Amino acid sequence: AQTVTQSQPEMSVQEAETVTLSCTYDTSESDYYLFWYKQPPSRQMILVIRQEAYKQQNATENRFSVNFQKAAKSFSLKISDSQLGDAAMYFCAYFASGSQGNLIFGKGTKLSVKP
Amino acid sequence: GAGVSQSPSNKVTEKGKDVELRCDPISGHTALYWYRQSLGQGLEFLIYFQGNSAPDKSGLPSDRFSAERTGGSVSTLTIQRTQQEDSAVYLCASSLGTARTDTQYFGPGTRLTVL
């Protein structure tokens, strides 16, 4: 079975600085998608960024980028120029090939941003 | 346009009572998912619908849990004879379809507290 592990329960970053959140996963599949979701205190999960496993190029969305290491099964999220609004829970998720659509989530990393 | 809505936002009930949680997906989205988020945990997949059909109910924690979707739109998750371990945030998501490229959009969740 696929699993997703986020080893950092909490992280803190100074405003305007850069922070990296870690995620590792376990799978025997070669074709899959990976996601980072943000969950602010409002509870609503928001998609931050998506990576397709067959693409070697790391995905980027404005201040958010990933470091995807397929062989190491690692998928970290880098947030540049951190803003107060980035404070939230961040979840890494896996979507398997052939899956009927459900995402497999890690336990999350709580990010605090210090002014 | 309107996003995914869920009601009630919060629900407090007594052990042994039945509860119904409602999800109203984005118009036109054929796929609908229910997840459970327990304190300090990631999201646990419960069930998904493609149209009105739920092909796989194995994610439901026990036979006290059931879900239905009518008219390809609104879905209800019913928990019978609630137990304290059912306390959690129940999140609903919808997407155009069940393909990996179909982003899942989440609602704000229902926080269920069983006393």
Q: Which of residues 34 through 73 in chain A touch B, CB cutoff 8 A?
A: 37, 42-47, 50, 52
What mean pLDDT is reported for chain B?
92
Q: Which residue from B minimizes the CA distance to A43?
A: B108
Q: In this complex, which of A33, A47, A101 lies closest to B33 when CB atoms are compared?
A: A101
CB contact under 8 A, A103 and B59: no
B92, pLDDT greater than 80 = yes
* Closest by CA position to B33, among listed B11, B55, B13, B18: B55
Q: B64: helix, coil or strand? A: coil
Model confidence at A98: pLDDT above 70: no
pLDDT at B72: 83
B57-81 burial, b at 16+ Cβ within 10 Å, e below that, comes to eebbeeeebebebeebbebebebee
pLDDT the model gives residue A97: 65
Confidence of residue B71 (pLDDT cuts 50, 70, 90): confident
Q: Which of A47, A50, A106 sits opposite B42 (nearest CB)?
A: A106
What's the whole-number mean pLDDT along residues B37-64?
88
Q: Is the Cα torsion angle A10, B111, B36, A66 positive or negative in sign?
A: negative
What's the pLDDT at A29? 85
| Residues A23-69: tens digit of each pLDDT | 999 998 888 899 999 999 888 899 999 999 988 899 999 999 999 99
Chain B residues within 8 angstroms (CB to CB) of chain A = 3, 31, 33, 35, 40-45, 48, 50, 55-56, 59, 89, 91, 93, 95, 98-109, 111
Structure tokens that stand for B37 in this block:
């988020």
Residue A88 near chain B (CB below 8 Å): no
Half-sphere exposure of A70 toward its Cβ, with a 13 Å CA cutoff? 14
* Mean pLDDT, all residues of chain A: 92
Average pLDDT, stretch B40-68? 89
Q: Average the pLDDT over B43-54 and give the result.
A: 90
- What is the predicted pLDDT for the residue at A49? 96
All residues of chain A having their beta carbon less than 8 Å from the beta carbon of residue B7 are none
User: Tell me, what's the pLDDT at A100?
Assistant: 65
Share of chain B above pLDDT 90, in %: 77
Which chain B residues are within 8 Å of A46, Cβ to Cβ?
A: 106
Give the position of tokens 């739109």. B73
pLDDT exceeding 70 applies to what percent of chain A? 97
For residue A77, what are the β-bridge partners?
A21, A66
* Band (A1; pLDDT cuts 50, 70, 90): confident
pLDDT value at residue B46: 93
Q: CB-hemisphere CA count at 13 Å for A112?
A: 7
Query: Rounded mean pLDDT of B94-102?
Result: 86
Confidence label for B29 from pLDDT (cuts 50, 70 and 90): very high
The answer, yes or no, to whether residue B67 has pLDDT greater than 80, is yes
